[in-house]
């Protein structure tokens, strides 16, 4: 058995798609964005990526059954716009070799489907809380930046490296002459999941791909995360959650847990 392998349930039926990758990482932004797309578009799951390099644990599902860590593959066909291949997963590899092997499996999928472009999605932790997170971009060729002038992608940043599959996949695709862009949502870095940054990156993906996304399922999570961030800000300034509650007239906003 290969250490890393792709198992397809059916042959992809997309034509010259854009391949979008989003795995678990800082703020779970990549995984959250691509998972949201797979759930809210009429996608079809067509396969999985398995690897011995994934962390050594299983996922306990809602029905209390377990499953191995994997990356899921979906396809989304459109009549008048580019088709999509989505790769999302609840973990990345725990070894350097595994990162390269998984990136290579995704790249082989891109070649198999004659993907016209690769879009990788992740997070960039800044250590600071911001009200309006930015979406930072990096491309395989500098000429590609012009393609994103009318979107919320900013290339004015100091990011020097992209860790994990999101970076490797672009670097490897460049050698295969496949165009690519990385979208990195700005996030504090200390949130397990960052709905606000997820929403901002989703909006940017919507701009680029001309999608129509329903954000209602994200709204509540965004509001909850903003309350947590407000409390973290006050703690950073030396004000306790109890003081905050008193200042709000006793309005119970919960506790950071």
Domains of the chain listed by start with CATH number: 4-214 (3.40.50.10900), 215-250 (no CATH)
> How many Å apart are CA 160 and CA 234, to the nearest integer?
31
Beta strand 44-51 with 4-8 is: antiparallel
The answer for residues whose C-beta is within 8 angstroms of residue 146's C-beta and 6 or more apart is none
Closest-CA residue to 32 (of 161, 224, 175, 40):
40
| E-strand stretches of the chain | 4-8, 18-23, 44-51, 58-60, 66-68, 71-76, 84-89, 117-125, 135-139, 153-154, 179-187
User: What are the tens digits of pLDDT across the range 22-65?
Assistant: 999 998 999 999 999 999 998 999 999 999 999 999 999 999 99
Q: Tell me what the pLDDT averaged over the chain comes to.
A: 86
Residue 17 DSSP code: P
For residue 13 the two structure tokens come to 């039926």
Least confident of 35-39, 56-60, 100-104, 215-219: 215-219
Entry pTM:
0.85
């Amino acid at each position: 058995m290969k250490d890393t392998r792709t198992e397809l349930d059916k042959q992809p039926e997309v034509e010259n798609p854009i391949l979008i990758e989003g795995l678990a990482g800082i703020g779970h932004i990549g995984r959250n964005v691509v998972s949201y797309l797979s759930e809210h578009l009429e996608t079809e799951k067509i396969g999985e990526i398995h690897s011995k390099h994934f962390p050594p644990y299983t996922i306990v599902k809602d029905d209390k059954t377990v499953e191995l860590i994997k990356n899921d593959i979906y396809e989304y066909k459109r009549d008048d716009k580019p088709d999509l291949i989505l790769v999302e997963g609840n973990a990345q590899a725990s070894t350097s070799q595994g990162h390269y092997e998984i990136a290579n499996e995704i790249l082989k999928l891109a070649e198999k489907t004659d993907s016209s472009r690769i879009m990788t999605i992740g997070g960039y932790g800044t250590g600071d809380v911001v009200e309006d997170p930015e979406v930072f971009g990096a491309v395989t060729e500098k000429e590609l930046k012009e393609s994103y002038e009318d979107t919320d992608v900013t290339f004015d940043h100091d990011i020097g490296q992209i860790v994990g599959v999101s970076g490797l996949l672009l670097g490897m695709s460049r050698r295969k002459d496949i165009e690519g862009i990385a979208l990195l949502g700005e996030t504090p870095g200390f949130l397990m999941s960052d709905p606000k940054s997820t929403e901002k990156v989703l909006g940017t993906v919507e701009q680029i791909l001309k999608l129509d996304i329903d954000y209602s399922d994200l709204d509540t999570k965004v509001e909850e995360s903003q309350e947590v961030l407000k409390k973290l800000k006050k703690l950073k300034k030396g004000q306790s959650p109890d003081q905050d509650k008193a200042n709000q007239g006793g309005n119970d906003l919960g506790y950071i847990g």
